[in-house]
A and B are shown apart, each in its own frame.
Chain A
Amino acid sequence: MTPLDRRHVLLALTGLAAGAATPAVAALPEIDPEGARRIGQAYLDSHPGRRFDAGRLQGDLLPDGWTPEASARLRARAAADFRAGRLFIHRGWRLSDTEGRLFALAALTPP
């Protein structure tokens, strides 16, 4: 597993193929880094008894970096979270736990 840097994580969060750094992709706006970090930190704060680190989260969420398969898997996983009621509620927004963990990965990944 190759550790991702924050830019690649942020690109991954928007569903972009981070590995395909084509000019077209590079021209797309990446997810708001400060917003992602803040939400990720809120996710971490909402689980005070648990220890998270970027490596484990990446292994769980994006073990092979960003791939089309990862996109489909995360979509299915988020849907399963919603179905099962595994939610992360931030400022009233109902997000899946998987989305909360993706933001947490952004917060923990060094720039």
Chain B
Amino acid sequence: MPFIDAGDLPGDSEIVADLIVIGGGMAGLALAREWAGSARSVAVIESGGKTFDPAVQDLYRGAGVMRGPDSPDQPFDDYVGQSRRRMLGGSGMIWGGKCVALDPADFARRDWVPGSGWPISRAAIQPYYDRACDLLEIAHFPPGETGLDVAGKPALAIGDRKAFFSAPRRFTKFSGGVDKAAYDRWRFAPAEAANVTVYLNANVTELRLAADGQSLARLDLACLNGRRHTARGRVYVLATGGIENARLLLASNTVAAAGVGNGAGLVGRHFQGHVVFSVDDRKGGRTSGVYLSGTDNDMTLYTDGSKGAAHCVFAPTLAGQKARRGGNCTITLNSFRTPAPVDPELAALQQLAGGVDRGAPVARADRDLSCFVMTEHAPNPESRVSLGDSSDALGVPRVKLEWTWSEADWRRLESSVAAFGQALGEAGLGRLAFPAERSRYLAMAATSASRHHMGTTRMHRDPAQGVVDDTSRVHGVDNLYVAGSSVFPTSGIGNPTLTLLAMTMRLSDHLKSHLARAA
């Protein structure tokens, strides 16, 4: 079916479909693609159009703050509105295309990480990862992969990979940040199917519950040109992103005062994101980095961050995390450091490391790499999305983000850094520099926040501990499901897109069998 501009429909139109997908971003469009050509009718309800519109984007504007222990709050208002794209294709329009599967450890229950443990294992999600990789036309991520097999660039084995391994990343061309034309084909494709209709410029203003509160009765829609409509389906999938999913559930409070699916007060809580911790003070001789004294490996496997290149980072094994009771982390080698005026201490240090590690002096510039560290942001109910005091142009309350780090997060960061430095040194491979002070962590985090928004509708079989069950259905609402990284119970350290697509494939299969059974 062609695209339909909801602003052109007669007022008070009713859109009817078997499956209604709220949000035409990567998750919503992937779901629509899965249903393309089926016997079921599908309606995708997208807020934006095919091109960027500042007036539509403004609907995302909100308030924000990043918090951490013993540091002044960091203003974060701009981030809320600018970290997503509200248009067909969603934030895939600005995504860099980096793909990675979460580590098996990320799915495990780790009694030292509060709130950890997915109700599904990595093995169970593997077939969906494979399908998501096929969708993005990249090679699969076999479970337990500890490095890429790239000719001439063997992955570096640190201490027999007991504590740290090389975690691969791959790039897809299907993202606005890599190949706009390819991504245009990808985002327009669902509408080519006869059973899929994509409605543009259609904003959901309320997920309207039935009077008994047990199911969704309809969607209330509004267009910026003033038109209002409704949409009615057999099942609904909310796929508007990690912040907006929570916002819509909370703002839909006509029938349930706390919002839809919020009986346990969990909607919006446990917000998790990824940030980078690094120091780059070359003049002051303080830069986070690695000096590799004990290997002659070609390290471009780790340092070439260009799109399409094979890429690895270092990450801890589950055993490594357990040994230090720490979370997941990654250490990314960034580039060769710019040669600075000779720093005698640095020279002495590198020469000594070479002597101890190799029995011969080495001080090679190409072994001197900068690095950054990312650490798992553990689930924390105080890190949350809630409704603010003002409303957008359509009357929907704007969002308020309180991105909160705990002292335990900082401890896990420090234990990760210590463990990696020790593993490198013990293996005789090199030395780590991480000259960061705890008082600076929050400022580093606030200036390096990724667009990865996770956890606000976390998955758990127990309605007291999660917003959606292990099928992604909202607890207590029969016909409402959530797609996207908001269902992640924990965040791991990896770009979430591949995982959210895998979870969407899994949801798609569930919905197909669910509707078949219902018929």
Residues of A within 8 A of B (CB): 13-16, 28-29, 31-32, 34-36, 38-39, 71, 74-75, 78-79, 81-83, 85, 87, 90-96, 98-99, 102-103
In the complex, the answer to whether A39 meets B348 with C-beta atoms within 8 Å is yes
Tell whether A91 pairs with B435 under 8 Å between CB atoms, given A13-B352, A35-B349, A75-B359. Answer: yes
In the complex, the answer to whether B426 meets A31 with C-beta atoms within 8 Å is no
Tell whether A39 pairs with B345 under 8 Å between CB atoms, given A14-B361, A31-B351. Answer: yes
Residue from B352, B354, B360, B422 in contact with A87 in the complex, judged by beta carbons closer than 8 Å: B422
Q: A13-B348, A94-B418 are in contact. List 18 more A-B contacts (CB 8 A).
A: A14-B354, A14-B360, A15-B354, A28-B361, A31-B352, A31-B361, A35-B347, A35-B349, A38-B348, A39-B345, A74-B356, A79-B426, A85-B418, A85-B422, A87-B422, A92-B433, A92-B435, A93-B431
CB distance from B314 to the nearest CB of A (A): 14
In the complex, the answer to whether A92 meets B348 with C-beta atoms within 8 Å is no
In the complex, the answer to whether B425 meets A93 with C-beta atoms within 8 Å is no
Q: Does B432 contact A (CB under 8 A)?
A: yes
Bound form: Cα–Cα A31–B360 in Å = 11
CB distance from A83 to the nearest CB of B (A): 5
Mark each residue of chain B from 171 to 196: 1 if its CB lies under 8 Å from any CB of chain A, else 0.
00000000000000000000000000
Residues on the B chain within 8 Å of A75, using CB: 356-357, 359, 428
CB distance from A66 to the nearest CB of B (A): 10
In the complex, the answer to whether B345 meets A94 with C-beta atoms within 8 Å is no
CB distance from A75 to the nearest CB of B (A): 6
**From residue 331 to 376 of chain B, which have CB atoms closer than 8 A to chain A?**
343-349, 351-361
Residues of B within 8 A of A (CB): 279, 285-286, 288, 343-349, 351-361, 418, 421-423, 425-428, 431-436
Bound form: Cα–Cα A10–B356 in Å = 13
Tell whether A32 pairs with B422 under 8 Å between CB atoms, given A15-B355, A91-B285, A94-B433. Answer: no
Tell whether A13 pairs with B433 under 8 Å between CB atoms, given A32-B347, A35-B344, A79-B428. Answer: no
CB distance from A41 to the nearest CB of B (A): 10
Residues on the B chain within 8 Å of A74, using CB: 356
Residues on the B chain within 8 Å of A36, using CB: 348, 352
CB distance from A103 to the nearest CB of B (A): 7
In the complex, the answer to whether B431 meets A35 with C-beta atoms within 8 Å is no
Nearest CB in chain B to that of A96: its residue: B425
Tell whether A94 pairs with B421 under 8 Å between CB atoms, given A13-B355, A16-B361. Answer: yes
Residues on the A chain within 8 Å of B343, using CB: 35
Most buried by B among A38, A83, A92: A92
Listed from nearest, the 5 A-B pairs whose CB atoms lie closest are: A92-B435, A15-B355, A35-B348, A35-B344, A94-B421
Bound form: Cα–Cα A95–B435 in Å = 13
In the complex, the answer to whether B344 meets A94 with C-beta atoms within 8 Å is no
Bound form: Cα–Cα A96–B428 in Å = 11
Residues on the A chain within 8 Å of B352, using CB: 13-14, 31, 36, 95, 99, 102-103
* 15 A-B contact pairs sorted by A residue (CB < 8 Å): A14-B352, A14-B354, A15-B356, A16-B355, A31-B351, A31-B361, A35-B343, A36-B352, A38-B344, A71-B359, A87-B422, A92-B279, A93-B431, A94-B421, A103-B352
Residues on the A chain within 8 Å of B288, using CB: 92
Residues on the A chain within 8 Å of B423, using CB: 82
Residue from A28, A91, A96 in contact with B433 in the complex, judged by beta carbons closer than 8 Å: A91
CB distance from B429 to the nearest CB of A (A): 11
Tell whether A94 pairs with B431 under 8 Å between CB atoms, given A31-B348, A31-B361. Answer: yes
Residue from B344, B355, B425, B434 in contact with A92 in the complex, judged by beta carbons closer than 8 Å: B434
In the complex, the answer to whether A91 meets B345 with C-beta atoms within 8 Å is yes
In the complex, the answer to whether A103 meets B286 with C-beta atoms within 8 Å is no
Most buried by B among A38, A82, A83: A82
CB distance from B289 to the nearest CB of A (A): 9
Bound form: Cα–Cα A97–B485 in Å = 44
Bound form: Cα–Cα A71–B358 in Å = 9
CB distance from A109 to the nearest CB of B (A): 14
Residues on the B chain within 8 Å of A15, using CB: 354-356, 358-361
Residues on the B chain within 8 Å of A35, using CB: 343-349
Residues on the A chain within 8 Å of B359, using CB: 15, 71, 75
Bound form: Cα–Cα A94–B427 in Å = 14
Residues on the B chain within 8 Å of A93, using CB: 349, 431-433, 435
Nearest CB in chain B to that of A92: its residue: B435
Bound form: Cα–Cα A81–B352 in Å = 15
Residues on the B chain within 8 Å of A78, using CB: 356, 425
Residues on the B chain within 8 Å of A39, using CB: 345, 348-349
In the complex, the answer to whether B351 meets A32 with C-beta atoms within 8 Å is yes
In the complex, the answer to whether A29 meets B361 with C-beta atoms within 8 Å is yes
